[in-house]
């Protein structure tokens, strides 16, 4: 019974074969993606749907082909009468299909699949039929005003050199749908002024199209502002193109306050402010001098020790009290000595022995297992999030599930055992032939996955025995040729001074999250590498730029810009600097449990100290993850309640040995007292009107209480709560 | 001096405390409501009242308690048992009789079985999600009434942002004016969460941060400190007022900074903070030591139970919307009371989840009924979806244990009570396997529409998003059949 039709089918297939060959790779797989068969809720689910599983969004065509061919004993195809194949009758709903109607009978897609079955369901040649690259037209979209539309054309180039228009099958998405809206699959409509990125995907390949919608207002004339260094040249090149006029440099008082908070987390003292504002030296000279004074100062070291403590998750929850202090001291010494960033990273990753003798070993005590250690390491040092690839290939980024386990395998020989002292642990590496239970196994077929680098470097690094895997990894990671290592940290450091990265979020670098100014990021990266990973030098270059020093006051051309660094944007002081600023402005000594008196918030060892108080309310990271997103700088009602009525500000202004009390005892005149409080809180002199109003208030009642009221109001003002 | 029309004016002793508060919030927040705006608002309210005049249930509710069981409780094991279904569906629990004749529920909910005479049990909640149905996407759908527009292929959503549709409580705190100086919208004991995504679908989105919920970030079952909510002893109200006047002057002297921070809602927060500390009402409402040990015990000596008790106190004080989230992360470990029981189902439900939910929810309903609070307060207990009736199958891409059940939004159950909702009624019915509604399907948007309607809000009303584009408050049908 079954033989006869098979013979007939051969002749029919021969007829079809005379037409253009149809292959799974080139022709059929894109249809399965387009009509939704491979989507997450359908057959792309981890366990498939109704016994039929395809890879999520078709990331594994070989798997999908085999599933179609061999599941159900191959009953999905009727080569004699292709139209009676389940492969067609199911999606055309000629037989019941849980997923509903997916292919109209006799539609173009239907015909292609019919044709393919008739030709004998060939897979195709991966060396010819796979997509080599995507080309898009236009490569860049610029609209002179909102309200216009543009059609995107997508062409796939296959490995055999052939090309095909795949506009209908490709997926086009906008990263900012309310600015650039996608209509009818591949048309983009400009909704408002600004910039967006279109993500175009087809068969595992991804490309992006930048969209710029210009401000149609007439009268834009580019007036070239002064450039202090290459940073501004590169920012200005972009600004001129997108019709944005940057703000001029901020005045000295604003600069002084901003640069102090950003580099050291501390406000300038009233004396420092007086001296700086009175200094008649040329602006650029005195600002450079002040930057040099701050970089490397004790407060600078405290501030960046806290920052690295966040990223490396230095917390007694994982490390115990003694371990935390040890790790923190190691970080602190690295920051204080301006240890080159690549060296610091190598020391962390290749640490060995007792966690008390080599505190860098604590890096491995936080995450403990190879997979989380790898995820943390890639997120912190490469800015890449590998976590999705644990369960499946990333549907359109280039990281595969295989790579996830290959990268984790670099840490699979890491062992920890108790040391001789309480809380001590010994970090060691298993030898070849030791218990291999930690070796990475691929979840699909349990095969052993040996370590392999995410990206091959220009100078190949040999992967040695298990005992030396971490050394090889560190060498590869910190190599100057690694395209991610320097770039990730340059972008991260940049974001600390502007509130947002050139790629943002800074720890989610991927092809579909492109930099807003690639030339700028490349230049910063090169600068860092050329200076042997000297982070202080990078910071100096950044804060010396006009872009960093520009005013927050906007003009009609840049008031809507929030991505191109055309003006400063006010940022709420983060938790520790805010608490320290309250103490310093009020002249109150910081008091935390378990640490010596006068230990500031930015000097605390870990989030255990002062837990659940002011600092946590204002978004201090709990160091539960290495994500930059743990630190929050929003404002909320509970925070406002605390500032208005909580003990932190109220107690500080009323401190019996505080700034107000001392000034009253010293018998300061009202105008002098007002000037002192303004300088202490806002790092500037009061205006004449401000001074007069404040003096009038002070003389209207009991002086000490009234001075406390004034200081309270200054500490609750926006000019205090924000760095701007 | 500012005065709101229709409110009592100055007394001969000078401004009252309440007057001071009003001046504070209006003046500082810049919310100068001109008369014509107020009358417009009143006119709109009249129009809505006219539209629904005489309609069953309209405007019955003054406030809402939303018990949001994030994680997705398994409806077939808790609310909708199917003793005659095949082995791989029925599960291990036996059904028990309830106060609703003919309606049986799972055996581990005995106290609720006894309290069902006060509620309507909906057994036909149903929706088909847009894209992947992870928790966060479903929570967003449930509480905002809109599917998320940006589900990435991995199913992970972005954190909350200013373009999000507002959560129901934010709409309500904006649309219904507060009569008392209390927190309009409180979320207990912690925000919604799936993995690292915190608060998606539970924030004010394009309404602005001023309408975000007040989040306590403390465990009501432990010692709660509320120093931010009570006026300090050394601070008479007049002195606080003077401080605020000074503050206003300092801010106003830097107008460019005011402009740059226009969108950050600093003034709104300060206005609210001012009102709250002067009244002290919110603090009292959150002080559970004012309850007897017996009452506290009846609600359950755990985070969830004490949060539910606190929700009743907040409603009594005048809060408009209290949301009690199930305290475990939506996709957390079922052995640690997350409802997401696809990796372990019957053991955790029997020993951990059901006893807590049963005790606390029944306590709330009985207590509120005894106090007459169910007349004007609507209570809703629901999750973002139910769980698959068939065990061990993957519906969301999760891996499951043989007895585990996976995400199932196509049919599940909800408990609704108060504000005229039917008492001792079952609404809707599921099919033989509890996998799709047999009759009267209720979309989550329908439930939201019904809730807004009960509060006297027109669910069809137009709202404006962050781009000032017109949108509907919710696209849902009012289920008048839920009202007695």
Q: Are A47 and B397 inside 8 Å of each other by CB?
A: yes
Looking at residues A377-405, what average pLDDT do you find?
A: 81
- Candidates B132, B251, B256; nearest CB to A553: B256
Query: C-alpha distances in angstroms, B426 versus A383, B120, B244, B416, B478?
Result: 53, 5, 54, 10, 17
What percent of chain A clears pLDDT 90, i.e. is strictly above it? 64
Separation of alpha carbons B447 and B450, rounded Å: 5
Separation of alpha carbons B225 and B228, rounded Å: 8
A229 neighbors A545 (Cβ within 8 angstroms): yes
Q: Are A714 and B250 inside 8 Å of each other by CB?
A: yes
Distance from chain centroid for Cα A322: 32
Query: C-alpha distances in angstroms, A264 versus A259, A300, A724?
Result: 8, 4, 15
Q: What is the pLDDT of residue A494?
A: 98
The residue in chain B having the minimum alpha-carbon distance to the alpha carbon of residue A192 is B467
Q: What is the pLDDT of residue A76?
A: 85
- Candidates A570, A645, A713; nearest CB to B261: A570
Cβ-Cβ contacts under 8 Å, B251 against chain A: 717-719
- Candidates A627, A646, A689; nearest CB to B196: A627
Looking at residues B126-132, what average pLDDT do you find?
A: 77
Q: What is the pLDDT of residue A392?
A: 67
pLDDT of A443 above 90: no
Test mutation, B157, B261, B471, chain A, max A CBs within 10 A = B261
Cβ-Cβ contacts under 8 Å, B261 against chain A: 570, 718, 722
Q: Which residues contact A444 (CB under 8 A, 6 or more apart)?
A: A401
Looking at residues B6-32, what average pLDDT do you find?
A: 33
Q: What is the pLDDT of residue B453?
A: 96
Q: What is the pLDDT of residue A313?
A: 94
Secondary structure string (H, E, C) spanning chain B? CCCCCCCCCCECCECCHHHHHHHHHHHHHCCCCCHHHHHHHHHHHHHHHHHCCCCCCCCCCCEEEEEECCCCCCHHHHCCCCCCCCHHHHCCCCEEECCCCCCEEECCCHHHHHHHHHEEEEEEECCCCCCCCCHHHHHHHHHHCCCCCCCCCCCCCCCCCCCCCCCHHHHHHHHCCCCCCCCCEEEECCCCEECCEECCCCCCHHHCHHHCCEECCCCCCCCCCCHHHCCCCCCCHHHHHHHHHHHHHHHHCCHHHHHHCHHHCHHHHHHHHHHHHHHCHHHHHCCHHHCCHHHHHHHCCCHHHHHHHHHHHHHHHCCCEEEEECCCCCCCCHHHCCCCCCCCCHHHHHHHHHHHHHHHHHHHHHHHHHCCHHHCEEEEEECCCEECCCCCCCCCCCCCCCCCCCEECCCEEEEEECCCECCCEEECEECCCCCCEEECCECHHHHHHHHHHHCCCCCCCEEECCCCCEEECCCCCCCHHHEC
Q: Are B394 and A46 inside 8 Å of each other by CB?
A: yes
pTM of the model: 0.76
Is the backbone peptide bond immediately before A138 cis, with ω within 30 degrees of 0? yes
Burial A21-60 (b: 16+ CB within 10 A, else e): ebbbbbbbbbbbbbbbbbbbbbbbbebbbeebbbbbbbbb
pLDDT in tens, A176-224: 888 899 998 899 999 988 889 998 989 888 889 999 999 888 888 887 7
In this structure, what token pair is assigned to residue A665? 């005892």
The residue in chain A having the minimum alpha-carbon distance to the alpha carbon of residue B239 is A709
Q: Are A638 and B272 inside 8 Å of each other by CB?
A: no
pLDDT of A18 above 70: no
In this structure, what token pair is assigned to residue A72? 């159900």
pLDDT in tens, B385-430: 999 999 988 887 777 788 899 999 999 999 999 999 999 999 999 9
- Give the residue with greater pLDDT, A625 vs A674: A674
- Strands A353-354, B63-68: parallel, antiparallel or unpaired by DSSP? unpaired
* pLDDT confidence band for B42 (50 / 70 / 90): low
B29 neighbors B270 (Cβ within 8 angstroms): yes
Q: Are A177 and B215 inside 8 Å of each other by CB?
A: no
Separation of alpha carbons A27 and A112, rounded Å: 7
Distance from CA of A64 to the nearest CA of B (A): 17
Strand (E) or helix (H) holding A689:
helix A688-699
Cβ-Cβ contacts under 8 Å, B21 against chain A: none
Q: Are B257 and A718 inside 8 Å of each other by CB?
A: yes
pLDDT of A676 above 80: yes
The residue in chain A having the minimum alpha-carbon distance to the alpha carbon of residue B261 is A570
B230 neighbors B240 (Cβ within 8 angstroms): no
Looking at residues A118-136, what average pLDDT do you find?
A: 91
pLDDT of B30 above 70: no
Looking at residues A535-541, what average pLDDT do you find?
A: 98
pLDDT in tens, A57-105: 888 888 899 988 888 777 888 888 888 888 898 898 888 887 888 888 8
* pLDDT confidence band for B450 (50 / 70 / 90): very high
Domains and CATH numbers, chain A: 3-118 (no CATH), 131-213 (2.60.40.1080), 575-618+635-723 (no CATH)
Helix axes A298-311, A252-264, angle to 10 degrees: 50
The residue in chain B having the minimum alpha-carbon distance to the alpha carbon of residue A555 is B256
- Candidates B210, B228, B253; nearest CB to A690: B253
In A90-228, which ranges are continuous DSSP H helix? 108-118
pLDDT in tens, A271-300: 999 999 999 999 999 999 999 999 999 999
Q: Taking the CA of residue A274 as centre, how many other CA atoms within 13 Å lie in the half-sphere pointing to its CB?
A: 10
Q: Are B214 and A638 inside 8 Å of each other by CB?
A: yes
Q: What is the pLDDT of residue B98?
A: 97
Collapsing DSSP states into helix, strand and coil, what is residue A368?
Answer: coil
The residue in chain B having the minimum alpha-carbon distance to the alpha carbon of residue A627 is B196
Q: Are A717 and B274 inside 8 Å of each other by CB?
A: no
What sign does the dihedral B121-B127-B129-B133 (CA atoms) show? positive
What sign does the dihedral A483-A488-A493-A499 (CA atoms) show? positive
- Candidates A41, A647, A719; nearest CB to B227: A647
- Give the residue with greater pLDDT, A10 vs A163: A163
Q: What is the pLDDT of residue B31?
A: 32
Q: Are A638 and B154 inside 8 Å of each other by CB?
A: no
Distance from CA of A449 to the nearest CA of B (A): 22
pLDDT averaged over chain A? 90
* pLDDT confidence band for A598 (50 / 70 / 90): very high
pLDDT of A637 above 70: yes
Cβ of residue A552 closer than 8 Å to a chain B Cβ: yes
A528 neighbors A486 (Cβ within 8 angstroms): yes
* pLDDT confidence band for A501 (50 / 70 / 90): very high
Cβ-Cβ contacts under 8 Å, A687 against chain B: 253
* pLDDT confidence band for A309 (50 / 70 / 90): very high
In this structure, what token pair is assigned to residue A415? 């062992």
Q: Are B212 and A177 inside 8 Å of each other by CB?
A: no
Strand (E) or helix (H) holding A183:
strand A180-183
Collapsing DSSP states into helix, strand and coil, what is residue A609?
Answer: coil
Test mutation, B257, B407, B464, chain A, max A CBs within 10 A = B257
Burial (0-12, 13-18, 19+ Cβ within 10 Å), B177: exposed
Distance from CA of B260 to the nearest CA of A (A): 7
Cβ-Cβ contacts under 8 Å, A443 against chain B: none
Cβ-Cβ contacts under 8 Å, B132 against chain A: 40-41
Domains and CATH numbers, chain B: 52-230+280-482 (3.40.720.10)
Cβ of residue A519 closer than 8 Å to a chain B Cβ: no
Separation of alpha carbons A196 and A313, rounded Å: 34
A 450-489: CB under 8 A from B: none
The residue in chain A having the minimum alpha-carbon distance to the alpha carbon of residue B272 is A637
Test mutation, B198, B247, B262, chain A, max A CBs within 10 A = B247
Cβ of residue A724 closer than 8 Å to a chain B Cβ: yes
Pick from A618, A636, A620, A705: which is nearest to B273 by CA?
A: A636
In this structure, what token pair is assigned to residue B70? 């994030």
Looking at residues B219-223, what average pLDDT do you find?
A: 90
């Amino acid at each position: 019974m079954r033989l006869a039709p098979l013979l007939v089918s051969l002749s029919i297939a021969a007829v079809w074969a005379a037409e253009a060959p149809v292959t799974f790779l080139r022709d059929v797989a894109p249809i399965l993606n387009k009509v939704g068969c491979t989507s997450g809720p359908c057959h792309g689910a981890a366990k498939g749907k109704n016994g039929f599983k395809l890879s999520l969004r078709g990331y594994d065509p070989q798997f999908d082909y085999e599933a179609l061919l061999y599941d159900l004993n191959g009953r999905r195809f009727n080569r004699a009468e292709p139209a009676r194949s389940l492969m067609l009758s199911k999606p055309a709903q000629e037989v019941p299909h849980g997923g509903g109607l997916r292919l109209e009978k006799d539609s173009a897609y239907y015909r292609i699949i019919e044709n393919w079955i008739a030709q004998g369901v060939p897979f195709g040649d991966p060396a010819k039929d796979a997509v080599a690259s995507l080309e898009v037209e236009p490569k860049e979209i610029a609209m002179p005003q909102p309200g216009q539309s543009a059609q995107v054309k997508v062409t796939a180039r296959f490995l055999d050199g052939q090309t095909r228009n795949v506009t209908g099958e490709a997926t086009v998405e906008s990263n900012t749908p309310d600015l650039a809206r996608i209509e009818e699959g591949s048309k983009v409509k400009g909704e408002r002024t600004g910039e967006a990125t279109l993500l175009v995907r087809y068969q595992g390949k991804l490309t992006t199209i930048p969209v710029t919608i210009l401000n149609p207002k007439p009268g834009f004339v580019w007036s070239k502002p002064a450039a202090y260094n290459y940073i501004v040249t590169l920012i200005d090149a972009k600004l001129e193109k997108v019709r944005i006029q940057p703000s001029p440099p901020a005045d000295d008082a604003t600069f002084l306050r901003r640069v102090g908070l950003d580099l050291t987390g501390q406000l300038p003292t009233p004396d420092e402010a007086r001296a700086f504002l009175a200094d008649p030296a040329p602006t650029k000279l005195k600002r450079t001098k002040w930057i040099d004074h701050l970089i490397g100062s004790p407060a600078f070291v405290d501030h960046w020790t806290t920052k690295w403590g966040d990223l490396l998750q230095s917390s007694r929850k994982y490390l115990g009290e003694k371990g935390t202090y040890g790790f923190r001291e190691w970080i602190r010494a690295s920051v204080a000595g301006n240890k080159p960033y690549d060296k610091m990273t190598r020391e962390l990753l290749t640490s060995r022995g007792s966690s008390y003798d080599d505190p860098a070993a604590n890096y491995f005590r936080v995450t403990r297992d190879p997979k989380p250690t790898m995820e943390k390491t890639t997120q912190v040092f490469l800015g890449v999030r590998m976590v999705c690839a644990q369960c499946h290939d990333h549907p359109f980024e280039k990281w595969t599930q295989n790579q996830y386990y290959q990268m984790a395998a670099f840490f699979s020989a890491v062992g920890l055992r108790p040391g001789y002292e309480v809380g001590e642990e010994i970090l060691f590496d298993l030898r070849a032939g030791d218990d291999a239970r930690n070796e990475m196994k691929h979840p699909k077929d349990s095969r052993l996955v040996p370590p392999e680098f995410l990206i091959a470097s220009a100078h190949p690094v040999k992967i040695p025995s298990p005992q030396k895997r971490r050394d090889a990894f560190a060498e590869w990671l910190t190599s100057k040729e690694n395209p991610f290592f320097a770039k990730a940290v340059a972008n991260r450091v940049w974001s600390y001074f502007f509130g947002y990265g050139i790629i943002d979020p800074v720890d989610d670098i991927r092809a579909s999250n492109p930099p807003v100014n690639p030339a700028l990021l490349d230049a910063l990266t090169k600068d860092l590498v050329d200076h042997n990973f000297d982070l202080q030098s990078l910071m100096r270059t950044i804060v010396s730029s006009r872009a960093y020093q520009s005013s927050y006051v906007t003009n009609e051309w840049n008031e809507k810009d929030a991505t191109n660094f055309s003006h400063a944007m006010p940022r709420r002081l983060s938790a520790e600097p805010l608490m320290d600023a309250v103490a310093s402005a009020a002249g109150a000594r910081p008091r935390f449990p378990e640490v010596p008196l006068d230990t500031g918030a930015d000097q605390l060892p870990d989030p255990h100290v002062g837990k659940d108080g002011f600092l946590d309310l204002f978004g201090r990271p709990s160091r539960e993850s290495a994500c930059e997103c743990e630190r929050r700088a929003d404002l909320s009602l509970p925070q406002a309640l605390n500032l208005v009525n909580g003990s932190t500000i109220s107690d500080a202004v009323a401190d019996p040995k505080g700034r107000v009390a001392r000034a009253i005892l010293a018998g300061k005149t009202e105008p002098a007292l007002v000037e002192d409080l303004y300088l202490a809180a806002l790092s500037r002199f009061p205006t004449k009107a401000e001074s007069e109003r404040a003096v009038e208030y002070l003389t209207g009642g009991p002086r000490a209480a009234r001075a406390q009221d004034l200081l309270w109001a200054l500490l609750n003002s926006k000019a205090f709560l924000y760095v701007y | 001096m500012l005065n709101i029309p229709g409110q009592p004016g100055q007394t001969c002793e000078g401004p009252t405390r309440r007057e001071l508060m009003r001046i504070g919030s209006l003046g500082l927040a810049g919310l100068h409501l001109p008369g014509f705006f107020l009358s417009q608002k009143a006119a709109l309210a009249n129009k809505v009242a006219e539209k629904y005049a005489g309609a069953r249930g309209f405007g019955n509710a003054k406030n809402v308690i939303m018990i949001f069981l994030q994680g997705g409780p398994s409806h077939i094991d808790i609310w909708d048992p199917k003793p005659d279904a095949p082995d791989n569906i029925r599960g291990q629990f036996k059904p028990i009789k309830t106060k609703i004749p003919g309606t049986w529920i799972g055996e581990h909910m005995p106290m609720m079985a006894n309290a069902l005479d006060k509620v309507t049990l909906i057994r036909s909640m149903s929706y088909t999600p847009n894209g992947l149905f992870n928790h966060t996407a479903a929570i967003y759908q449930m509480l905002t009434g809109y599917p998320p527009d940006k589900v990435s292929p991995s199913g992970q959503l972005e954190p909350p942002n200013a373009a999000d549709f507002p959560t129901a409580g934010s709409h309500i705190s904006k649309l219904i004016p507060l009569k008392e100086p209390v927190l309009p919208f409180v979320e207990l004991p912690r925000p919604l969460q799936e993995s690292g995504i915190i608060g998606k679908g539970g924030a004010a989105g394009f309404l602005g941060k001023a309408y975000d919920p007040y989040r306590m970030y403390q465990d009501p079952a432990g010692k709660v400190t509320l120093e931010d909510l009570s006026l300090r002893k050394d601070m008479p109200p007049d002195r606080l007022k003077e401080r605020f006047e000074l503050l206003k002057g300092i801010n106003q002297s830097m107008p460019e900074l005011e402009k740059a921070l226009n969108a950050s809602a600093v003034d709104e927060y300060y206005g609210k903070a001012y009102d709250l500390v002067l009244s002290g009402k919110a603090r009292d409402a959150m002080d559970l030591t004012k309850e007897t040990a017996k009452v506290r015990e009846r609600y359950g000596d755990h985070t969830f139970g004490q949060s539910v008790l606190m929700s009743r106190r907040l409603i009594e004080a005048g809060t408009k919307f209290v949301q009690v989230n199930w305290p475990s992360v939506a996709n957390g470990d079922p052995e640690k009371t997350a409802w997401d029981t696809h990796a372990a189902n019957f053991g955790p439900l029997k020993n951990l989840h059901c006893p807590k939910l049963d005790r606390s929810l029944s306590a709330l309903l009985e207590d509120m009924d005894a106090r007459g609070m169910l007349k004007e307060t609507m209570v809703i207990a629901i999750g973002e979806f139910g769980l698959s009736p068939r065990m061990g199958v993957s519906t969301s891409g999760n891996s499951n244990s043989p007895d585990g059940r996976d995400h199932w939004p196509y049919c599940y159950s909800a408990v609704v009570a108060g504000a005229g909702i039917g008492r001792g009624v079952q609404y809707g019915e599921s099919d033989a396997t509890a996998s799709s509604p047999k009759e009267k399907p209720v979309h989550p948007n329908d439930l939201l529409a019904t809730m807004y309607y009960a509060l006297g809000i027109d669910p069809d009303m137009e709202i404006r998003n962050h781009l000032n584009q017109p949108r509907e408050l919710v696209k849902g049908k009012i289920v008048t059949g839920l009202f007695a």
